[in-house]
Homo-oligomer: A and B are copies of this chain.
Amino acid sequence: MVAATEATAPKKDVPTSDIDVLIVGAGPAGYMAAAWLTRFKGLKVRIVEKRDGKIFAGQADGLQCRTLEVLDSFGFADRAWKDANHMLEISFWNPDESGKGVVRTGRIPDMMPGLSRFSQIVLHQGWVESYFRDNIRKYGGPEVEFSTMPERMEIDESAVDNDAAYPVKVVLRHLKEEAAAPEQFGHKVLNGLFRSANLVSEKEEDSGLAKEETKASVEVVNCKYVIGCDGAHSWVRRQLGFEMIGEHTDYVWGVLDIVPLTNFPDIRNRCAIHSAECGSVMVIPREGALVRFYIQLSEVERDSDGRVKRSKITPEMILAQAQKIMAPYTITYEEIQWFTAYQIGQRVVNEFSAHNRVFITGDAAHTHSPKAGQGMNTSMMDTYNLAWKIGEVCQGLASRSVLSTYGYERSMVAHDLINFDKKFAKLFSGKPAKDAADEAGISLEEFKKVFEQSHFFASGVSIDYNGSLLIAKPSPAVEDKYNPVRPSVVVSKCNLASNIPVGQRFNSFKVLNQSDARPWHMHELMKSDGRWRIIVFAGDVLDKPQMARLNKFAAHLDSDSSFVSKYTPKNRPRNGLFHFLTVHSSPRVEVELHDFPAALRPDHDYWSVYVDDMSFHEGHGEAYKNYGVDKKKGCVVVVRPDQYVSLLCELEDVEAIEKFFAEFLIPQN
């Protein structure tokens, strides 16, 4: 496979190097990949970005619960939580009886209570990227190489199955800074194109960058893996010849980021405002006094091929439309920060990877409307799914077979997202029903119902991966000629924990540390450090037969034939690949830490054994009840490094655990 661009081939004296992973694009997906791979010590990772590193106004701004859980596992969700606007309530506004104005017709919570310890927040993408940068630095990871773009990529197909090979050759060009600053379209106010937008063609975008590269330098990197995080107009995707499958709608939306002056009472709520005749507005209150408006534009000039003429769209025009929709309330602004316009496009890439060597992620793999706040989140979750697999493979811990699960798992999510978005976008862009007899219009009831149903999906916690070698449950048949995924060889005993669904993220409830009574959310103990978690619900350890079961389980762990002994690299501590977290259900004060077998608390670790008991200041976590685990007998849960549940079994089922890991882990001698 040869690159499509026609740049001069590099000469022989061009600097050349071998690296493990090249990340193309420093948006949320790229940063997540870099942060995650940074936790895999010893890997050579680079991240390149064609832009010059300036932070732009606008762009994506919602962080879902699940994303916050993941950011927390890296140690910085608290920064986002502190800086962001917390969006707690949604208000619905619909035509009043006269049809000339709008009235509030309902309020619902923005998130179903109990889904996660976080709720949705809103914050500029630039902040999120800056937290990532700080985090990557803290852990010694790569700095982003700005003003750097790939211009040629070749995959040596004969070497793709060779673990030791660097089969992907990429030519990188380091641009002069000015060449990397993308143009904004002509207006005194900052404007920009939403990443899923289609008002600018791929050609146009490229042409701005080709002008000034005369003094740029060129180098060659031979990569084990390349991750394409380079957005909707992905260069990586085009090199692979992959296609975006899907459609555009006709709806055109304007976006305004302003500090409003208004007498509209719900300006600090998320609002869905439907007027009778003038279209819809969605209000997203942001950090500080900023508010984002998504405004349906009814009259816009188009090209002969139906594309909107972007130069004709001004913030004044967008605001005028908002005023019509929001009447009788008035709206103007103290300050305008950014504006743009977009048409909704809903498309998914046809392949997620080439030979499990080059991967397509984020906006490069799926585009959709921005209003549900899914884009930035799904992008980050793509590389959160992928990077640990690449990390374990590069460290020689896991076989390349695990890489097939990336496309298998994330293409499902992408398609679900598009289906969700279609429903959501139609609701928003459609006209409200005038009355019960108006069948073409969308009734308030229908709108509220879909909105409520969408919470679970939009929160990001509903994702349920299918069975595979990494998820011990039956797999549906999936055909993929390039990247076939292997089915699971063991099947979980799902009835052991009614609320720990295999394939979903392990949920978090509070438990107490046995040693010091401190309450912890389980997720706080499950950092993104690349380790597999073996969560041992030890049950009632005051019961002697139960303690005997636990001791037998621990004795197996201690043996030379156990997965702990076989797969943990010799230069790591005993809990360096498998992190044991034990949670028992006996009263804390009747049990001592030293009652537990040492295999469950290696290296004198006081942060391995927990109890489901009442805390001093934060109530009772009721972990056994919430997880649906039997308080007497407990169970064992194997959790992936990305917090997804792999396997559920009994304390006796050590053979199932052994078989599960034997499928993809590599013995360390």
Contact = CB atoms under 8 A, between A and B. Distances in A.
A113 B617 contact: yes
Interface residues of A, number: 36
Given A263-B594, A592-B265, A616 B89 contact: yes
Lowest 3 CB-CB distances: which A-B pairs, in order? A268-B516, A268-B515, A109-B616
Contacts of A592: 265
A516 B261 contact: no
A119 interface: yes
A24 to B, nearest CB: 34
Copy tally for this chain in the complex stands at 2
Contacts of A87: 516
Interface of A is mostly: loop
Given A107-B589, A594-B263, A268 B616 contact: no
A269 interface: yes
B289 A517 contact: no
Nearest to A263: B594
Contacts of A86: 516, 518
Contacts of A285: 516
A622 to B, nearest CB: 16
**Most B C-beta atoms less than 10 A away, residue of A85, A289, A513, A616:** A616
Interface string A85-116: 11111000000000000000001011101000
Contact of A88 (B516, B593, B604, B606): B516
A82 interface: yes
Contacts of A107: 589
A78 interface: yes
Nearest to A595: B265
A486 to B, nearest CB: 40
Interface string A508-552: 000001011110000000000000000000000000000000000
B517 A88 contact: yes
Nearest to A116: B617
A593 B263 CA distance: 10
A119 B617 contact: yes
Contacts of A85: 516
Interface string A474-513: 0000000000000000000000000000000000000001
Given A86-B518, A113-B617, A285-B516, 8 more contacts: A89-B516, A89-B616, A119-B616, A261-B604, A267-B606, A268-B513, A269-B517, A289-B606
Contacts of A289: 604, 606
Given A89-B516, A89-B517, A516-B285, A265 B594 contact: yes
Contacts of A617: 88, 109, 111, 113, 119
13 contacts: A86-B516, A86-B518, A88-B518, A88-B615, A111-B616, A111-B617, A119-B617, A265-B594, A267-B515, A268-B513, A268-B515, A269-B516, A334-B604
**Most B C-beta atoms less than 10 A away, residue of A85, A110, A518:** A518
A347 to B, nearest CB: 34
Nearest to A266: B515
A616 B78 contact: no
Interface string A388-421: 0000000000000000000000000000000000
